[in-house]
Chains A and B, each alone.
Chain A
Amino acid sequence: MEKYDRSDRYLKQLDDGQHEIALATKDLHVSYGEKEAIHGVSLDFERFKITALIGASGSGKSTYLRSLNRMNDNISGTKVTGQIMYRGLDVNSNQIDVYEMRKHIGMVFQQPNPFAKSIYDNITFAPKRHGEHHKKVLDEMVETTLKQAGLWDQVKDDLKQSALALSGGQQQRLCIARAIAMKPDILLLDEPASVLDPISTATLEDTLLQLKENYTIIIVTHNMQQAARVSDYTAFFHLGDALEYDETRKIFTRPKIKATEDYVSGHFG
């Protein structure tokens, strides 16, 4: 791999009063044991937009994403320093209740991971645990979220069926439905289409574009066409740093940084 000057970077600032910021990180560092994986990343994410995080494998884009709702807390030896600003609070602090925070910042993973429960229970399980017990509300929630995730028509007669019997693409859309049933502000998606076939991927992308109306979405993807198709902003990650952050259009047509240019034109990665 070519060596790039890492001080050569362009990060678009969105906190200019023109944009509403849903989430922002300030100098975020992540380390596993002795090894630092993210070297101080500061990015602002605009509300009701889709932001794509791209970069080669090992660039730290997934690690960064997983830090945003503190999923890395559960991996022993991981340390996250710096600020994650959400609604004026630094959620990367001990005063913040991490469980409450994750209700507002939801996540969908690379591997579809439905629970070994029925489709209905997959969606209603967490809301029930959080205290929602009215059957009518739950029924409505199942219908709305499955519709939003584009799965309703396929499963509406089979809600009691085990979720594990669904196809991979259906499982992933169920996971999205499950995540939005929590009515989060922000939805983090970690390469959600990497195990899906092209048709399922296309359906998923349509779903994301519709969800954008109500959710702020941050998506990690290794698929540059996907980033170009769905996202409004794109951040390019390289070896644990965000080197370029700009409107997607600009990133893919006129990147300002050599590394970004090489990556989006397929020279490495």
Chain B
Amino acid sequence: MSPRKWDKVATTVLYMISVFIIAVLAFLLLYILISGLPHVTWHFITGRSSSFAAGGGIGIQLFNSLYLLILSMLISIPLSLGAGIYLSEYAPKNWLTDLIRNMIEILSSLPSVVVGLFGFLVFSINMKLGFSILSGALALTVFNLPLLTRKVEDSLQAVHYTQREAGYALGLSRWETVIHVVVPSALPGILTGMILGAGRVFGEAAALIYTAGQSSPPLDFTNWNPTYIASPLNPLRSAETLAVHIWKINSEGIIPDASAVSAGASAILILFVLLFNFAARYFGNKLYRHLTGARERG
């Protein structure tokens, strides 16, 4: 074959590969939504799950997922901001800083199941938190911290050095300059990273199986006192999340309508992931335009 012909063939193959990948995503989304959405009723979203019989809902699991998400983000956002600021602004260029960066990279490359087991050992057993929301939130924090920190550091580094000099030259400390000048400028990137991180946390199951637990005790949605044992807000109760629920009913296969419930739950999960994804894009862009003043210029 002539080179020109080869070129044609190769281009065609590359087009086919790209179409294939788009088809895979389309198939995944359509399969989940088509098989799942018919099961999504108000009763399904808010109802209690069933252990043996068909017709259970996912209300508590959905609440647990959201509660865990909020709790773990409350811990990991300030921590990752602090760590990211330190690495970007204060860390001297030496072997110790390199070592710290390597440690964070290693943490981000650890399998989530290992993070879950560590959480089980340290939070659930050693710290006696048991299978609880708190253990789960801490495990999710460990799972999420390295990526968030990295994202914060990268976003801060993307802000031009002259912005910092402007602050220093006005007699401001580095800390003031970072908090009031650099962080606001880096906010679009940071926000995008945080929202995508939230999406990851929302769908995570392996880190939660042995930390937040695989059971959901009955909750009393009329009592919101966090110290009450059946309170939805009690951080020491065990809490099966949506993702863990999907895994559990599929691996144990006790309830007869496992595949219908999983499909419905997966659909909800996917809808949330899509929501997080679009939110990240939308708010990131909007904030960016707002900060750069592009809006005013039309």
Contact = CB atoms under 8 A, between A and B. Distances in A.
Interface stretch (A97-105, A136-144, A207-215, A261-269): A97-105
A116 interface: yes
Interface stretch (B6-14, B157-165, B237-245): B157-165
A175 B165 CA distance: 12
B296 interface: yes
B184 A113 contact: no
Contacts of B165: 71, 74, 107, 109, 113
A99 B172 contact: yes
A76 B163 contact: no
A30 B169 CA distance: 19
A255 interface: no
Interface in A64-111: 69, 71, 74, 76-77, 99-103, 106-109, 111
Interface residues of B, number: 27
A164 interface: yes
B296 A102 contact: no
Interface in B161-175: 162-174
Contacts, number: 83
B292 A164 contact: yes
B171 A99 contact: yes
A26 to B, nearest CB: 23
Q: Give the interface size class of chain A.
A: 20 to 34
Chain B contact surface mostly: helix
Nearest to B174: A74
A116 B162 contact: no
Contacts of A161: 293, 296
Contacts of B93: 76-77
Interface centre among A126, A178, A182 (most CB of B within 10 A): A126
Given A162-B293, A162-B296, A109 B166 contact: yes
B169 A74 contact: no
Interface in B264-279: none
A203 B181 CA distance: 28
A161 B298 CA distance: 12
B180 A129 contact: yes
A125 interface: yes
A126 B92 contact: no
Contacts of A77: 93
Contacts of A182: 170-171
Given A116-B291, A162-B293, A165-B297, A102 B166 contact: no
Interface centre among A106, A111, A116 (most CB of B within 10 A): A116
A89 B57 CA distance: 75
B181 A115 contact: yes
Nearest to B164: A74
21 contacts: A74-B174, A76-B92, A99-B171, A99-B172, A102-B168, A102-B170, A102-B171, A111-B162, A113-B160, A115-B185, A116-B291, A116-B292, A126-B170, A129-B172, A129-B180, A162-B296, A165-B293, A165-B297, A175-B166, A179-B170, A182-B171
